[in-house]
Structure 1
């Protein structure tokens, strides 16, 4: 079968809803990227192409993350859906990115702890690698300008890794100046943020899967403690953590059991878990 034939067969098997949500999300992210660049596609539709660098980078990060989960699930004979993307229409005058991300649904139980580590860690690791590439490319094409230049700005908090990349690629920023991010760099920053959220070791987030593979029944108590920590962080720092804590409570903190729990984690799966922990620290703090 030719490459074109494989592509046709794949598209034939993809549910229409998944394709529709993906297409709408691509459009909304493209529109959001154009609005962030100062274009107005509502008056000049052709200017929507100004959002292409941001949209391409962000969708690549999200797609890499979700398809890695899907492939890992297939490798371990866990029935899973293709990604469902969540489109969010951008609003002119507001900083929106056109999506709330994506998710896959697992329709059969996970048999071993090794499978749980692979499925949980694969998405964040691949998404992280794409985010590193986007951040590096985008920072190389970013500019240092006077902070009060009159342009509308969104002040971003920097993770350890993004700050380190900015220091290495852009260099020290003089007082009164700031880095104006290239849209691909902003997509990379979002990739780090999304990765860190998914790796929070709570409930059935990716980090929760990994924690359960290592901690078993202690996972639930750890999840409760960490949700409380997020709520406190929301009171002291960023209010969004309170919303995130409430969402986690709504989604439930417990984790479905692994069928063959007694089968131990091999050394290389423990290393994968450690890599995921390092990525979490680099992108969350």
Structure 2
């Protein structure tokens, strides 16, 4: 039972913090009306579902390859989204490249499809409003290729001087796509790092260092948050531990999975996620 207690406590705490964040996004003053926290459920339910789907994708893929893994650990946080995400811990080594691709790609693939669903549903509930002209700053989310296509498909062309105010569900979908792209960076032991190592072996080291350089470049010229992310990845390590059994060849299906994951990364990546 002990192995369930900590994940359950963290999950419940994250439900509360994401409810809190969702209520604040709707302009609710929780100091005056604390019981209205439940009105944050559209965002909370959406982001929890996306994060849980991502981690359970990893979990079940690990089980399929007889790799020991913990249940998801959610990270509650006093932030605009109420969480710093979730993770699972591998408690035994990953044996083969096939397993590495399956485990690395399962989470992002599930999270991606759940995020797209949230975006489609949420954009239908979003509003197009005129931008106030008074010289004030506006907090704007950057668009990935995919999100721009979804906005155009669902809401049509946005007239000049107007912008989209995302519904809580659409905002959760945007966050889900952003988290997916960050996890698919082919660096270290991120999900994208697992996939890159399984596909390219020792060349992963060169890919990892090149990507860190590009992230630092983006941090200088586009969004300072990338510098923080680059430093964190440097601290965690850029290399990948070897698998125990290196197959001579990967099957075509696994190479296709790796290619699909790379395309998802390209279509969900946002050079400047947050700007004014």
- Indicate the TM-score class for this superposition, using the shorter chain for normalisation: over 0.9
Q: Aligned partners of 2:31, 2:188: CA distance in 1, in Å?
A: 41
The answer on 1:20 being equivalent to 2:9 is yes
Structure 1 residues 79-94: aligned runs within 5 Å: 79-90=68-79
The partner residue of 1:129 within 105, 113, 133 is 113
- 1:114-263, aligned counterparts within 5 Å? 114-148=98-132, 154-263=139-248
Q: Which runs of 4+ in 1 moved over 6 A?
A: 149-152
CA distance in 2, matches of 1:224, 1:52: 40
Check whether the contact 1:147–1:176 (CA below 8 A) recurs between aligned residues. Answer: yes
Equivalent in the alignment of 2:273 = none
- Residues of 2 paired with 1:13 and 1:140: CA distance? 43
Q: Which residue of 2 aligns with 1:111?
A: 95
Give the stretch that moved more between structures: 81-90 or 235-244: 81-90
CA RMSD of aligned residues (A): 1.6
SS at match of 2:249: coil
Residues 200 and 206, structure 1, Cα contact 8 Å, conserved in 2: yes
Which is further off, 209-218 or 45-54? 45-54
Residue 225 (structure 1) shift: 1.4
Mapped to 2, the partners of 1:181 and 1:152 lie a distance apart of 18
Once the two structures are TM-superposed, the CA of residue 173 in structure 1 deviates from its matched residue by: 1.0
Partner residue in 2 for 1:97: 81
Gap change, CA 1:129 and 1:149, over 3 Å in 2? farther
Cα drift, residue 15 of structure 1 = 1.9
Q: Distance in 2 between matches of 1:71 and 1:43?
A: 43
Distance 1:144 1:89 in 2: 29
Task: After TM superposition, give the deviation of residue 176 of structure 1 in Å.
Answer: 1.1
Q: 1-side partners of 2:162 and 2:54: how far apart?
A: 34
Task: Report the secondary structure of 2:140's partner residue.
Answer: coil
With structure 1 as the length reference, what TM-score do the two structures score? 0.91
Give SS of 1:80's match: coil
Residues 112 and 263 in structure 1, CA contact (< 8 A), matched pair in contact too: no
Question: SS of 2:163's equivalent?
Answer: strand
CA distance in 2, matches of 1:154, 1:53: 21
Equivalent residue for 2:42, pick from 53, 59, 65: 53
Query: Are residues 1:42 and 2:27 paired?
Result: no
- State the Cα distance separating 1:13 from its structure 2 match: 7.2
Once the two structures are TM-superposed, the CA of residue 222 in structure 1 deviates from its matched residue by: 1.4
User: Are the aligned partners of 1:113 and 1:264 in contact in 2 as well (CA < 8 Å)?
Assistant: no
Deviation of 1:262 after TM superposition, in Å, equals 2.8
Query: 2-side partners of 1:152 and 1:225: how far apart?
Result: 35
Q: Flag the 1:51–1:154 CA change in 2: closer, same or farther, 3 A.
A: farther
Structure 1 residue 149, shift from structure 2 partner: 8.2
